[in-house]
Structure 1
């Protein structure tokens, strides 16, 4: 990759002027946004094949039974979620040493991730037992390296500090690139095949890591003698924010789990699936700068509340749709995509503010984002665990045209998320915006 830049660490005893220079490291210039945010593209790019394409690939290409494959995937994903808090602690220790060490470890993790991803889709073994063992082992490797890079990238951005607008801008660059990565990953495997996809991912990951080495460096802080003294769960603002995030996340994950069923059976518009998905993610990407501007005028929490209410309005409208309502559902996708832009951009910026006010900036961002990522993965698991069994109990089966089954699908896809979104909005207003302990609005 060429010569790498020196990344000197500011000493813990640096004068206040040096601290001020470090704090001013992020100016919001496009070059800085590109250098920090670029890694978000390959990290989002790889998630879609790992979580969506891989199960069908092993079932269709190698004939692996779905029940056994499902058990392997469930075990690997649970292990992945449980690793995140520990990964966060390790990331904090690396940041305490120097940003350069963080970056070098990131390079190593990137190599492991690229190799593991390719090996997953092109296993050198045959037979069901060998394929399952290979899949389980390589999933643990890829999930670990992916989580390590994700937590590192999030903590790096949070440690740049700044006010609400600056933090929202940092997250916007990361999540904007991530949305582009999702769009590319939704098309490339089916168009070019997994060989090209694996190669493209390796190249994009190398570029993203190279760019991160040239990004503004996080502010350093004194090394904690006992890092275990910092426990995010002891911070009241973190507990409240995580509760809101969980409610909102489950509300968003349920329709993500059921969207293809709704398009195919309720709308009977399977041919438009790529258009709907592309419109949803494109609207989210285009909305990110608008949400950043909204933060500058209204604040983080009020802007996020507006995004929640927009999502509720979109899904209430979706509940009225039926067979052939393609244009109307396209507008639903656009509106809910705009709301997704708020969900992606604003909660991590609020979390960075929690870390600042707790006095843990530059010390424990990894610990906070480790638990944050654990909650994100828990949302996905809870969404599937809630929605799919409820649908089955209510009489819905994929491909049905039965009125009762379709009504159950509409209830689960449209109205249950609205209830949860409204609960999240109420928690945001009552536990955050009206709270009197100095939380950021």
Structure 2
């Protein structure tokens, strides 16, 4: 297949040059090419948030599926979604090796567009509704994982320079944060203020999502920096896990992902029952995500100066300071918490952009990145699942939702929301010391 229109460049195994080549400065990709790569992050985020947030209430409240059945289906589908990612990563490597990635991405995006709409428009009711939900979720999760893992792997192969990799990641995560903010507002408005029936409202959202997804994929394949494809064969999991630097990175990444997932799980409880300001929830979340997007250029420049490891460590330090402050807040401290959202949002930019760049720098040039990002994605989803254990922990500590900021359990809520993430973050920082600094030159 031709490289210019598919965005995939091939590189043969290096041979000894006949004459020394004069050193040349790396030619940075233009901003338009980086934007073409990053834009796909927006629709991918637009699909993920409603599936996790809106689906349970939609099926239980709008469609009448029993809560127990809804919960069982969600758990089983998410378990399948988590386990399949390493297998999908290896499959993506094989597709890239054979030059068949672009058709697979088109197929996955078409399946994702159709099944995302299918999720909101079930033609069945009663006992068959649970089966429809299970089938729809498995197809949505699978198609989304294929596109997302391939997308992350592409970002690892746009360059061998950490600065360029960080630029690509910043564009990707900025678009993703924009997608999160859009997904936070648009479905809620369509289901509430628009006055449309629920099915029609979500069908409209699915149509917008499909148009953005397919348009972003077309831009990625035609105008993004090329996936610099190597001729080496696809390595198995044993070879991937034999990469000592990769193994050492997994633990700090996993611990840090838990530290991010816990406050994400508990934030609405904290705002309602610790701060006593549920009416501020939307403003707090918007501030948090906006600060994350605004901080991405800062982390990009900082990573170019001190490397992705040092910049990520500074981001972790900022997050610890923010959540230590949050743990001491109480009823009425809305202004202080707004400042916490700014600081934590800035730190979020580092957590989103820098770990994938660090991983990309640690993948040898002769190995395909899909298998690495399949394992990476599994750990991120596992961290999200484990963060749910914070709820039974709070129940054991005496917290009852809706009890208010003066109830004894609210102190436990503050400590678990603000203090527990700091412990995981500090442990991640300690483990990060064992990860070797990435090479600063282009390995190709």
- Shared fold per TM-score greater than 0.5: yes
| Residue 154 of structure 1: how far off its partner (Å) | 0.6
Q: Which residue of 1 aligns with 2:115?
A: 116
Q: Which residue of 2 aligns with 1:80?
A: 81
2:141 is aligned, of 143, 146, 166, to: 143
The question of whether the paired residues in 2 share the 8 Å contact of 1:310 and 1:335 is answered with yes
- The answer on 1:347 being equivalent to 2:355 is yes
Give the structure-1-normalised TM-score: 0.91
SS in structure 1 of the partner of residue 132 of structure 2: helix
1:280 is aligned, of 285, 288, 310, to: 288
Cα 1:236–1:227 change in 2 (3 A) is closer
Where do 4+ consecutive residues of structure 1 move more than 4 Å?
6-9, 13-17, 23-26, 438-441
Supply the distance in 2 between the matched residues of 1:169 and 1:353 (Cα, whole angstroms): 14
Cα 1:150–1:105 change in 2 (3 A) is same
Q: Which residue of 1 aligns with 2:317?
A: 309
SS in structure 2 of the partner of residue 219 of structure 1: strand
Supply the distance in 2 between the matched residues of 1:326 and 1:341 (Cα, whole angstroms): 23
| Residue 359 of structure 1: how far off its partner (Å) | 4.1
Cα 1:6–1:264 change in 2 (3 A) is closer
1:116-135 aligned within 5 A: 116-127=115-126, 129-135=127-133
The question of whether the paired residues in 1 share the 8 Å contact of 2:13 and 2:232 is answered with no
2:227 is aligned, of 218, 225, 229, to: 218
Q: Which residue of 2 aligns with 1:238?
A: 246
The question of whether the paired residues in 1 share the 8 Å contact of 2:34 and 2:225 is answered with no
**Which deviates more from structure 2 when the two are superposed, residues 276-285 or residues 213-222?**
213-222
Supply the distance in 2 between the matched residues of 1:152 and 1:189 (Cα, whole angstroms): 27
Supply the distance in 1 between the matched residues of 2:381 and 2:325 (Cα, whole angstroms): 28
Supply the distance in 2 between the matched residues of 1:376 and 1:306 (Cα, whole angstroms): 21
Supply the distance in 2 between the matched residues of 1:388 and 1:422 (Cα, whole angstroms): 22
The question of whether the paired residues in 1 share the 8 Å contact of 2:237 and 2:371 is answered with no
1:298-377 aligned within 5 A: 298-355=306-363, 358-360=364-366, 363-377=367-381
Cα 1:25–1:409 change in 2 (3 A) is same
2:189 is aligned, of 186, 191, 195, to: 191
Supply the distance in 1 between the matched residues of 2:30 and 2:178 (Cα, whole angstroms): 20
Q: Which residue of 2 aligns with 1:381?
A: 385
Q: CA RMSD in A?
A: 2.1
Supply the distance in 2 between the matched residues of 1:164 and 1:5 (Cα, whole angstroms): 25
Q: Which residue of 2 aligns with 1:404?
A: 408
Q: Which residue of 2 aligns with 1:90?
A: 91
Supply the distance in 2 between the matched residues of 1:329 and 1:389 (Cα, whole angstroms): 25
The question of whether the paired residues in 2 share the 8 Å contact of 1:26 and 1:216 is answered with no
SS in structure 2 of the partner of residue 42 of structure 1: helix
Supply the distance in 2 between the matched residues of 1:68 and 1:108 (Cα, whole angstroms): 31
| Residue 230 of structure 1: how far off its partner (Å) | 5.7
**Which deviations, in whole Å up to 9, do the C-alpha atoms of 1:328-378 show, x marking residues without a partner?**
1111111100000000000000000110xx344xx3200000000000000
SS in structure 1 of the partner of residue 210 of structure 2: helix
Q: Which residue of 2 aligns with 1:206?
A: 214
| Residue 266 of structure 1: how far off its partner (Å) | 0.5
The question of whether the paired residues in 1 share the 8 Å contact of 2:299 and 2:311 is answered with yes
Supply the distance in 1 between the matched residues of 2:275 and 2:186 (Cα, whole angstroms): 26
Cα 1:210–1:266 change in 2 (3 A) is same
| Residue 12 of structure 1: how far off its partner (Å) | 3.0
Supply the distance in 1 between the matched residues of 2:268 and 2:439 (Cα, whole angstroms): 38
Could you tell me which runs of 5 or more consecutive residues in structure 2 were left unpaired when the two chains were aligned: 191-200
Q: Which residue of 2 aligns with 1:55?
A: 56
SS in structure 1 of the partner of residue 228 of structure 2: coil
| Residue 147 of structure 1: how far off its partner (Å) | 0.1
Cα 1:66–1:427 change in 2 (3 A) is same
Supply the distance in 2 between the matched residues of 1:60 and 1:286 (Cα, whole angstroms): 37
Give the structure-2-normalised TM-score: 0.90
Q: Which residue of 2 aligns with 1:154?
A: 152
**Which deviations, in whole Å up to 9, do the C-alpha atoms of 1:107-142 show, x marking residues without a partner?**
111010011001101101011x21100000111111
| Residue 235 of structure 1: how far off its partner (Å) | 1.1
